[in-house]
Amino acid sequence: MSQFHLSRRSPDEEFPDLGRNYTWMGQILTPAMYRRQFHRCTHSGVIFDDVIRPGLEEPGHWSGPVSVGCVAGDPESYILFCDFFDRVIESHHGHKITSRTPESDFNHDNLKDFCFPTHCSRGERRQLLTLASKALQRLEEEEALPGRLLLLQDLSPEQQRELNLNSPSASQLRIGVARDWPDARAVWASTDGGLVVWINMEDHLRLVSTRDDANITEAFKRLYVNLQKLGGFYRELRHPFTWKQQLGWVSSSPADVGTGLRIRVHLKLQHLPQHNRLQDVLKRLRICMDTTESPALYAVSNTATFGLSEVALTQLVLDGVKLLIAMEMRLEGGGDIEELVPTQK
């Protein structure tokens, strides 16, 4: 990416208006911090104004978490702008970043990082698609997992709807991940439909493991096993997934660093969504609850991805779902849920 940008005035003149910004970025960014970051630029051309996104205020979930309001253009962003990103990550995930010194690494082969989708070029995006195609072909051939790779530009509107593919949202357009849509975007789906891999959407790769029988353990196992295999194939192709010692796995959104894992369970709830203690309960459980297109059907998921292991996050959601079901049954029978309200997780 080019490192040439529009002519800018002084940091004080360029400081964004945060008066109505309710994101973590809006709460954390100060003029002094902005001045410190103003003239910094990563090797791929990401400057601090590419990172902060004043227009990314988004409505909260039932539990009311604040949107992060910022994105990383490349892995180096988390290092160069660490005094900003570290505070955003700690605030959003509620977990302190350790101060361990990164291990020494002089292996030049590790300098093959791609920019994140928020900042990558058409050429990078197409190269990422080629890498994904090679790795997924090996997954099919060596692991006996049949599937097919579908390019978005070749799919009809009906086929896109069947795969739950939507047009880019306003937020995706603002942060740049939808540039040149649908060029080099694709989806790989296993023949049985249990595993789907999104390519060059909001992330370089996103694996989704689904089941209809509520067997989260098997869904987790399938995701983990195939992610490990794909990670191995990428390492052999000399493009390993990006991992930072203090943060774990990183992506364009600070909301997804650490594990990058989202566990989502759909629940039918009639009474609990109307209860005045719901938001407090969700906050204590560290989960959120979103509406879906179906009445009384809600998607329950973890609010944080950083600070806990993948197993611990999955167990946290499982425990939370069990408690929500118990509360719903108590309310259905005319009872009170006060004694079921948990302590803070």
CA atoms within 13 A on the CB side of 101: 3
Q: Does the annotation place 122 within a ligand binding site?
A: no
Q: Does the annotation place 148 within a ligand binding site?
A: no
CA distance to 58, 254, 262, 316, per residue, from 324 (Å): 25, 28, 18, 12
Q: Does the annotation place 263 within a ligand binding site?
A: yes
Q: In the block, which residue shows the tokens 């791929």?
A: 44
Q: Does the annotation place 290 within a ligand binding site?
A: yes
Q: Does the annotation place 206 within a ligand binding site?
A: yes
Q: Does the annotation place 199 within a ligand binding site?
A: no
In the chain, what is the straight-line distance between the N-terminal and C-terminal CA atoms, in Å?
43
Which residues neighbour 16 within 8 Å (Cβ) at sequence distance 6 or greater? Answer: 29, 52, 54
Q: Does the annotation place 293 within a ligand binding site?
A: yes
Closest CA to 69 of 243, 211, 235, 254: 254
Q: Does the annotation place 202 within a ligand binding site?
A: no
Q: Does the annotation place 158 within a ligand binding site?
A: no
DSSP H or E stretch at residue 37: helix 31-37
Within 10 Å of residue 222's Cβ, how many Cβ atoms?
A: 18
Which residues neighbour 65 within 8 Å (Cβ) at sequence distance 6 or greater? Answer: 92, 288, 303
336 backbone dihedrals φ, ψ, rounded to 5°: -110, 145
CA distance to 62, 165, 222, 280, per residue, from 318 (Å): 18, 27, 17, 18
- Assess contact for 52 and 25: CB atoms under 8 A: yes
Q: Does the annotation place 294 within a ligand binding site?
A: yes
Binding-site sequence positions = 206, 262-266, 290-295
Binding-site sequence positions for ATP = 206, 262-266, 290-295
